[in-house]
Structure 1
Amino acid sequence: MGTDDRISPRRFHDADGVEDWSVLYDGAVVRFATGTFERGAALVAEIARLAEEAGHHPDLDLRYGTLVVRLVSHDVGDISLRDQALAARISEAARALGVETAATGAQTVQVSVFALDVPAVLAFWQAALGYDRRGDGDLVDPLGRGPDFAFQQLDHPMPHRNRLHIDISVPRAEAAGRVDAMLAAGGRLTADTREPHWWSLADPEGNVADIAAWRDDSEEEEL
């Protein structure tokens, strides 16, 4: 495949065999309920075989009882037809091994920092975290384990609001339930809410968390 095989989340979901997957901030993600570490390892081995055949390799996070798989094409910076094809094969392999998809749990966490001087603030956090820089405003964990840090430009001071907030990318089917739980726990919706694409909620002291579902069926072609 060339570099023109990038696809939108909507197109990804329209394919057969990828019903288990959700498109989040950092790619297409699925969480399998393996039940045991041994069964999870067996699925990892099968995914490794499929990945070698395809020449396209997912990120895997194997824990006792669960396996999270993430697909993204780094050469285009988004999901692609290669991810769509491999996702279908991975789901087929899981079914063959009797492994079911977990009902919930697929999510991506991103920390957003508002700053008047983005380069200066970004440099501080890069030194603190030991992260790599991606583009002009993002820091990413070189080990692929910690959350991304995104830096957003302010055009005026924000003395009455916390300038650091957490973005949680979740499947669209889970977003409303997550928001309801936050409201029940004392949260309040802010003016930045753009339902049903994302909900911005503040805790009782003004710290903000965004529940974002827009990537899971967006027609956008870019991250």
Structure 2
Amino acid sequence: MPKVLSEKDVQSRPGLQDWRVVARRLHGTFRTGSMVAGIDLVRRIGDLAEQMNHHPDIDLRYYRVHVVLTTHDAGGLTENDVTLANRISALAAELGIDAEPARASRVEIAVDAIDIAAVLPFWQAVLGYKKEVPAGETQESSVDLTDPDGRRPNVWFQQMDVRRPQRNRIHVDVHVPHDVAEARVAAAVEAGGHVVTAGYAPSWWVLADPEENEVCVCTWQARD
């Protein structure tokens, strides 16, 4: 398995001026100016990825292509990510496409909890996420929940010693297809949560985990 590199090491590497390390991943944004140019860039990046057998996450938008690199098997950044980033930058330069490194960003959600082991299964069920142990951590020290498709924010859990007096320490809206909402609610309840109110269903259900952190499961229905 490739060695995991420190974030400082990766960001200080020469040739990575187009990239930024954000939340344990290497992000690059390239302004293509059109959908056609973006599709061409994505196709060429795909060819590079196949040659290396190392595959990035790619987000294609009308004016931009955003690329995120990590080595999933290693749980962090490795030399494979650095090499592919350099090759993508060279490709973009060859095509006359400028990088926009300042646009790198990532959203994560933090949940304060006293008993993380009791709270985590609820959030995994209601979001449909998978567990991921960050590089350098163990199952006992730190577990994130991540979207299997890599599109939605990660969730991480902050250990608390004393319950805060506030009613709620976090609130998240989870928008799902209307035909899976009830199953998602049921899975969350089975994982240790409870329904606070179904009075707004099928527009949304308000649920809470074992420590009363709330989440709304939302659909498009009945919003006229």
| Both proteins in one fold, TM over 0.5 | yes
- Higher mean alpha-carbon deviation, 10-19 vs 63-72, is at 10-19
For 1:139 and 1:96, locate their aligned partners in 2 and report how far apart those are by CA, in whole Å.
Answer: 38
Q: Which residue is equivalent to 1:84?
A: 82
How far is the alpha carbon of 1:94 from its aligned partner? 0.5
How far is the alpha carbon of 1:10 from its aligned partner? 2.3
Q: 2:146 aligns with which of 132, 140, 143?
A: 140
How far is the alpha carbon of 1:164 from its aligned partner? 2.9
Which of structure 1's runs of 4+ aligned residues deviate more than 4 A?
A: none
Instruction: Give the TM-score, by structure 2 length.
Output: 0.68
Q: Which residue is equivalent to 2:219?
A: none
For 1:14 and 1:37, locate their aligned partners in 2 and report how far apart those are by CA, in whole Å.
Answer: 32
For 1:104 and 1:123, locate their aligned partners in 2 and report how far apart those are by CA, in whole Å.
Answer: 35
Q: Secondary structure at the match of 2:103?
A: coil
Matching of residues 143-154 of structure 1 within 5 Å: 143-154=149-160
Structure 1 residues 139 and 103 mapped into 2: Cα distance closer, same or farther (>3 Å)?
closer
Q: 2:7 aligns with which of 6, 9, 21?
A: 9
Matching of residues 209-220 of structure 1 within 5 Å: none
Structure 1 residues 152 and 145 mapped into 2: Cα distance closer, same or farther (>3 Å)?
same
Q: 1:67 aligns with which of 44, 65, 68?
A: 65
RMSD of aligned alpha carbons: 1.9
For 1:82 and 1:161, locate their aligned partners in 2 and report how far apart those are by CA, in whole Å.
Answer: 46
How far is the alpha carbon of 1:41 from its aligned partner? 0.7
Q: Mark the runs of 5 or more structure 2 residues left unpaired by the alignment.
A: 134-138, 173-224
Query: Could you say which structure has the larger radius of gyration?
Result: 2
For 1:89 and 1:108, locate their aligned partners in 2 and report how far apart those are by CA, in whole Å.
Answer: 23
Q: Secondary structure at the match of 1:16?
A: coil
Structure 1 residues 26 and 165 mapped into 2: Cα distance closer, same or farther (>3 Å)?
farther
Q: Secondary structure at the match of 1:139?
A: strand
Q: Secondary structure at the match of 2:8?
A: helix
Q: Secondary structure at the match of 2:28?
A: strand
For 1:165 and 1:94, locate their aligned partners in 2 and report how far apart those are by CA, in whole Å.
Answer: 40
* Mapped contact 2:7–2:24 kept (Cα < 8 A): no
What number of residue pairs does the alignment pair up? Answer: 164
